């Protein structure tokens, strides 16, 4: 009986999230309501609900949001973004700067954060060059999704995999398996958009000259900029150092603690503690805490087993089959659940079917496929919804479901083919060593 109650509650949450533009209910409230209902209807008890929340993920997100908030408040992020854009000598290069440049930032600064930061900049640029905002809004959406695939700190689902898969060296493994195909996919995504928006780019070029993108920006708070940049660099270096120490069996410290140490150093050295704390997006943290409760209730109640027993199961011993099954599930179910809730649930499926930290290839396929599933429809990733809501709150018409899907289906299929080919090939090479 519990499994059907869990499914009914999840259906309510899903309808509210999918129809959030109509119901005007924020996604964090919808998910929080679902978590409360799971407890009230005794699908999951309070103790189990509390234990289901991944403190590591919440701590990591809080720490990274703090660091990025400081970078943003200092004016450094805006300066870096404008410098990238100002180097563009024509509309094609401007499109590349948004896809590849913003995508590269997303790999290390969390894609949702870059979505929020990039919106006002992209809207300003669109008006500056006389372009339809949808061209660069889509470029931003696709770019940050692809770029965030590269590292375990690019998006929340990658972090979940890094923390829950027991991969010995997650940061190194992500870069080893995903850095090259991600760079390739960023440029392929730019090329697809360049062809698709050929008429728009041609029209832009008539009014485009060497001074068109002569944008300017200054550091608003030089001291905060230096401190936050130093903390960011030290934190990223810390991720690699922690992996080396773990590999040498000297000291075991996970990614979230490294990020928290960085954030603590930032708050200790900064004179803008209150402003930074105030600007952290706490609704995202609430959303993830509630999501852990909802997905744990779905799993523990047996609701997921109702469907999974009728579907193909990935075989840990078969690299080609398992990666194919994981890819299909990620792309399809990611549209129903959205990528973060899907990974939260599918981590349980992987563990239950014998996947361990030794199956690096399959975990990397889950990271890649679940992330780029966000480029198929606007329901696949929270960052796309953030872009739509943020643009429309500024009076700018964003892309529709159909506009996104028409380009997204091609972008997703091309990206998936590149990731699948590279991950399976590299996985086979490693197995044969």
Cα–Cα dist 298/10, whole Å = 8
> pTM for the complete prediction?
0.84
Cα–Cα dist 111/281, whole Å = 13
42 in the Ramachandran plot: left (φ > 0), alpha (ψ -120 to 50) or beta?
A: left
| pLDDT score for 383 | 82
In degrees rounded to 5, what are phi and psi of residue 113?
-70, -45
Structural domains counted in the chain: 1
Angle between helices 156-164 and 360-372 (to 10 degrees): 160
List, in order, residues 6 or more apart from 31 with CB less than 8 Å away: 13, 17, 287, 290, 291, 294
Side-chain half-sphere exposure of 339, counting CA atoms within 13 A: 35
SS3 content of the chain, % helix, strand, coil (to 5): 80, 0, 20
Instruction: List Cα–Cα distances, 214 to 85, 102, 217, 433, in angstroms.
Output: 9, 18, 10, 52
Nearest of 387, 384, 359 to residue 371 by alpha carbon: 384
Q: Which two tokens stand for residue 338?
A: 């959205």
Element (H, E) at 34: helix 27-40
| pLDDT score for 106 | 93
Instruction: List Cα–Cα distances, 297 to 2, 357, 375, 406, in angstroms.
Output: 9, 25, 28, 35
Cα–Cα dist 224/279, whole Å = 15
Cβ atoms of residues 424 and 323 within 8 Å: yes
- pLDDT tens for 307-335 read 777 778 899 999 999 999 999 999 988 87
- pLDDT tens for 261-271 read 999 999 999 88
Side-chain half-sphere exposure of 415, counting CA atoms within 13 A: 36
Q: Which two tokens stand for residue 177?
A: 């398996």
Cα–Cα dist 103/220, whole Å = 24
Ordered alpha helix ranges (H), 270-318: 273-279, 282-300, 303-308
Q: What value, to the nearest 5°, has the Cα angle with vertex 331 and ends 329 and 334? A: 85
Cα–Cα dist 195/190, whole Å = 9
| pLDDT score for 325 | 95
Q: Which two tokens stand for residue 322?
A: 């398992």
Cα–Cα dist 62/46, whole Å = 24
| pLDDT score for 154 | 92
Cα–Cα dist 376/370, whole Å = 11
Cα–Cα dist 45/52, whole Å = 11
Longest dimension (CA), the chain: 67
Supply the DSSP symbol for 250. S
Supply the DSSP symbol for 88. -
Cα–Cα dist 362/71, whole Å = 35
| pLDDT score for 147 | 97
Structural domain containing residue 63:
2-431
3-class SS of residue 265: helix
Instruction: List Cα–Cα distances, 9 to 26, 261, 333, 397, in angstroms.
Output: 17, 38, 18, 33
- pLDDT tens for 152-207 read 989 989 988 998 898 988 889 999 999 999 999 999 999 999 999 999 998 887 76
Residue at token pair 């995999």: 161
Residues of the chain with pLDDT under 50: none
């Amino acid at each position: 009986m519990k499994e059907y109650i869990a499914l009914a509650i999840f259906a309510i949450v899903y309808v509210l999230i999918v129809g959030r533009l109509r119901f005007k209910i924020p996604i964090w409230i919808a998910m929080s309501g679902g978590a409360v209902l799971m407890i009230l209807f005794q699908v999951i008890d309070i103790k189990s609900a509390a234990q289901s929340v991944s403190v590591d993920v919440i701590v990591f997100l809080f720490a990274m949001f703090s660091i990025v908030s400081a970078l943003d408040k200092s004016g450094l992020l805006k300066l870096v973004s404008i410098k990238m854009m100002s180097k563009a000598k024509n509309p094609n290069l401007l499109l590349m700067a948004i896809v590849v440049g913003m995508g590269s930032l997303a790999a290390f600064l969390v894609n949702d954060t870059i979505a929020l930061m990039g919106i006002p900049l992209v809207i300003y640029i669109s008006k500056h060059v006389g372009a339809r905002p949808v061209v660069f809004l889509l470029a931003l959406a696709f770019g940050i999704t692809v770029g965030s695939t590269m590292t375990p700190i690019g998006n929340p689902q990658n972090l979940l995999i890094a923390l829950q898969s027991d991969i010995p060296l997650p940061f190194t493994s992500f870069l080893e398996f995903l850095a090259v195909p991600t760079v390739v996919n960023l440029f392929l995504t730019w090329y697809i958009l360049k062809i698709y928006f050929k008429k728009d780019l041609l029209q832009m070029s008539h009014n485009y000259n060497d001074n068109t993108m002569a944008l300017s920006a200054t550091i608003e708070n030089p001291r905060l900029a230096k401190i936050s940049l130093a903390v960011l660099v030290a934190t990223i270096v810390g991720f690699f150092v922690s992996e080396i120490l773990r590999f040498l069996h000297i000291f075991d410290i996970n990614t979230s603690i490294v990020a928290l140490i960085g954030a603590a150093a930032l708050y200790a050295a900064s004179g803008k503690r209150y402003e930074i704390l105030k600007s952290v997006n706490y609704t995202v943290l609430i959303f993830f805490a509630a999501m852990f409760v909802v997905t744990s209730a779905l799993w523990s109640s047996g609701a997921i087993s109702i469907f999974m027993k009728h579907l193909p199961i990935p075989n840990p011993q078969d690299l080609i089959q398992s990666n194919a099954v994981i890819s299909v599930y990620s792309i399809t179910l990611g549209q129903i659940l959205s990528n973060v809730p899907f990974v939260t649930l599918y981590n349980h499926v992987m563990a239950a079917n014998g996947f361990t930290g030794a199956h690096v290839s399959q975990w990397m396929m889950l990271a890649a496929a679940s992330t780029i599933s966000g480029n198929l429809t606007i329901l696949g990733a929270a960052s796309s919804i953030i872009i739509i809501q943020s643009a429309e709150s500024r009076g700018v018409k964003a892309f529709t479901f159909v506009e996104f899907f028409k380009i997204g289906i091609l972008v997703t299929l091309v990206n998936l083919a590149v990731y699948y080919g590279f991950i399976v090939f590299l996985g086979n090479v490693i197995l044969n060593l």
